[in-house]
Amino acid sequence: MNSSDTIAKWRSRFIPDHVVGEILTKEWIDTAIPVVMFIASIIAFSLLLPHFLSLGGIVELLRQMGELTFVTMGMAIVIMAGGIDLSVGSVFALANFLTLACVNYLAWPPYLALPIVIAICGLCGLVNGVLVGYLRLRAFLTTLATLIIVRALVDYLLFHYGSKVVESSPDSEFWDFLSFGTVFGFPFNYLAAIVAAVVLHVFLTRMRLGWHIRAVGGSRRSAHNAGINVRRTVCLSYIVSALLTGIAGVLYAARLNNAGTEAGVGLEVVALTAAVLGGNSLGGGRGSIPKAALGAFIVALFTNSLLRFTLPSGANPLAIGLILLLAVATDVRWLKNRHKLLSRVYVSPAYFEPPPLLSTAPDSGTPYAVNNKLQDAEPIGLDQVDGAEDIAFDADDNLYTGSRHGDILRFEAPDYASVEVFAHIGGQPLGLHFDGDGSLFACVSGMGLYKITRDREIIRLSDETNRTLLSIVDDSRMRFADDMDFAPDGRVFFSEATIRYDIFDWATDSLEARGNGRIICWDPRTNASRTVLPKRMFPNGICMIGDNESLLFAETWAARINRYWFDGPHKGKVECVIPDMPGYPDNIRRSSDGNFWVAMLGMRTPALDLAMKMPGFRRRMAQRVAFEEWIYPNINTGGVVKFDANGNVLESLWDASGDKYPMITSMREHKGYLYLAGVYNNRIGRYRIPGADPSFNDRHLYWDKRK
């Protein structure tokens, strides 16, 4: 190994490049920008302002944030639903006036007055909602019109009753509590805002109606086509916004007792700034209540702190304007470039030194020499199968296979001419095995380990395992369950090929040459799963070796077959059985003569082997070249290899022409025939094995022994 190889090897071992891409896939990365801004501004202001972090100062600060937080949350909900509410400033002023009118002038008790005021504000929201939601007017113009109208209404009321409503203020403890009350030293109005934030967050993230709001904002058309009542949902968002604004207006009235005409003027701009700054995307779909609260906090912090510097007038609007510009620009650029950035950095190749490449030439004399034996295999389900990755047989010899459409198909014995959908699962079924009771176990990509009983009942056995500490990708969820086998005690060992890619990107995982996959054990006694063997390169082809304590598995991209002891004195040990396959091994199955069949889904090529030692080259390729042009494994040629438990390769079967069985992902020997499956093939093959046991059924190796 030369020095540059060594550097590449150590670099890819110790610098976790893949983390960058994984962080970018996270939802919370959207919030990172405002959070950083939040922390930076707190640090900056506490350095610049002497009493900034004193207790009194903080309480004072929070007391002034309560109302803005309420309004911003309302604005955020409307934005999430794909609209905008400019009328909040006017509704706020209306609530302020009405509260003062009810409490001061009419001398109603506050507990009676407040719900009425808030309900009236809700009515304003209803007007907006009906106009924008049901009549489908443009949100911007409509709420602009209601802004003018409600503001005129407030001005009119103020003109006639403005002086009267502030002449007296009620002598009520409740009222004083609203204005200056604290709970454990915490200002009441901010506490109320926090409680409301929690409630709204639960509503938006845990309840059906809340989901509808974001669905409508994300895509109105899709939401409509999915049966969501778009109009009602949009209407609702405006009502919620107006209600929250109403609450804010009430708190404002209690705090300041001010019936000035300038109450709430320009509030819509501030709330909008806060909502967007927090990371709520204009246009809808993306956003959350914590983001809104965070945005409101930052904006209030800025305006309040700037006020404490003795600055000329104008500093505040300048700051608000610049923050809004910065926030929207960041939001726009981030939305536009996140996926570009992600697609550039997500593929993160590591160093891998492939084993020597053995020749498969027909005259090479190796056991891998290409022949044309599979040419004669008869087709089953020609042009009916799509995505047949594996095959299984029930006690009546019916053949089962998966399909790309999320079905398990059943071909009727003995001629396998008629086909039916045995079960619809949803995800693409990969490894299939029958247990002793005649239930079909299936590894389903994107879903996990499932069992389908004879009565076609679908039972989920496992879709999560223990989460790895410090893993950024949430690896507790199963993304790519691939193949499985039964241990004698009923445990199921199954492989998850990769935790970084979904099935449609499976070949991209080959570029990384990193141990992204793992082997998981599901225990029926506890109905729980645990990862037993992490960090394997596309583990695949689980197959019990027959000694009740070890199994064979293939590491596809490493072109090797390993043996893993899950029990017994060597428990935990992994030993390489075949280190140097000329192709990429997939499923491993038992043969009637006590050996093992392994499928090769594709063949290694010198170019890719060379590239494996050049992670930098592969990274540049992934970043700069369109993915259609990448060097991929050659999956247009494959074959079947028989080997024994010691790793001696016995024979190989090929379709040299490549037009019938170009790719082989699995095979199963059943009653004298070898059945061949390839996930991209248009047929299942049936190859008569010369001299094989005509009664052989691999299930008997598992279940008859115990009987």
Nearer to another protein, 128 or 697 (CB): 128
**Stretch near another protein under the rule CB under 8 A, chosen from 57-65, 370-378, 544-552, 580-588:** 57-65
H-state helical runs in 603-668: 606-612, 615-624
Distance CA 223, CA 216 (A): 5
Q: Is 303 in the site for another protein (CB under 8 A)?
A: yes
Question: Is residue 220 a contact residue for another protein (CB under 8 A)?
Answer: yes
Nearer of residues 296 and 608 to another protein, judged by Cβ = 296
| Residue in the block written with tokens 């203020």 | 169
**Taking CB under 8 A as the rule, does residue 48 contact another protein?**
yes
Q: From CA 212, how far away is CA 232, in angstroms rounded?
A: 10
Residue 183 beta carbon to another protein: minimum distance, rounded to whole angstroms: 18
Footprint (CB under 8 A) of another protein, residues 120-149: 131, 135-142, 144-149
Q: Is 263 in the site for another protein (CB under 8 A)?
A: yes
Stretch that binds another protein, among 21-29, 161-169, 362-370, 663-671 (CB under 8 A): 161-169
Q: Judged by CB under 8 A, does residue 74 bind another protein? A: no
Whether residue 351 contacts residue 8, with contact meaning beta carbons closer than 8 Å, is answered with: yes
Residue 281 Cβ vs another protein, minimum distance, rounded to whole Å: 9
Q: Does residue 51 bind another protein (CB under 8 A)?
A: yes
Contact with another protein (CB under 8 A) among 123, 194, 306, 357: 306
- Alpha helices (runs of H) in 382-538, residue ranges in sequence order: 509-512
430 binds another protein (CB under 8 A): no
User: Which residues, other chains included, contact 33 with Cβ-Cβ below 8 Å and sequence gap of 6+?
Assistant: 279, 330, 334
Q: Which long-range contacts (CB under 8 A, 24 or more apart) does 325-334 make?
A: 327/273, 327/276, 327/277, 327/295, 328/276, 328/282, 330/33, 331/276, 331/279, 331/281, 331/282, 334/30, 334/33
Task: State yes or no: residue 33 binds another protein (CB under 8 A).
Answer: no
Handedness of CA 79, 81, 84, 87 (dihedral sign): negative
454 binds another protein (CB under 8 A): no
Question: Could you give the CA distance from residue 62 to residue 193 in angstroms, rounded to a whole number?
Answer: 10
What span, in angstroms and rounded, lies between the C-alpha atoms of 435 and 565?
Answer: 22
- Min separation Cβ 243 and another protein, Å: 21
Residue 591 identity (one-letter amino acid) = S
Residues 81-100 that bind another protein (CB under 8 A): 82-84
Least gap, CB of 221 to another protein (angstroms)? 6
Pairing outcome for strands 391-393 and 399-402:
antiparallel
Count of residues interacting with another protein (CB under 8 A): 92
Pick the closer one to another protein by CB: 240 or 320: 320
Rounded Cα distance between 84 and 75, Å, is 7
The answer to the question of residue 277 lying near another protein (CB under 8 A) is no
Q: Single out the residue of 43, 180, 382, 688 in contact with another protein (rule: CB under 8 A).
A: 180
Residue 151 or 536: the one with the smaller Cβ distance to another protein is: 151
Distance in Å, CB of 332 to another protein, minimum: 5
Binding another protein (rule: CB under 8 A), the pick from 321, 490, 594, 616 is 321
| Strand 583-590 relative to strand 596-603, pairing | antiparallel
Nearer to another protein (CB atom), residue 150 or residue 603: 150
Task: Establish if 375 lies at the interface with another protein (CB under 8 A).
Answer: no
Are 519 and 533 in contact by the 8 Å Cβ rule? The answer is yes
Q: In sequence order, what are the residues at sequence separation of 6 or more whose Cβ sits closer than 8 angstroms to the Cβ of residue 647?
A: 561, 576, 577, 578
- Closer Cβ to another protein, 5 or 60, answer by number: 60
Least distance to another protein, CB of residue 323, Å: 8
Would you say 45 or 596 has its CB closer to another protein?
Answer: 45
Q: Least distance (Å) from another protein to the CB of residue 680?
A: 35
Region of residue 647 (left: phi > 0; alpha: psi -120 to 50; beta: else) = left
Is 526 a binding residue for another protein by CB under 8 A? The answer is no
Decide: is 42 part of the binding site for another protein (CB under 8 A): no
Neighbours of 532 (CB within 10 A): 16
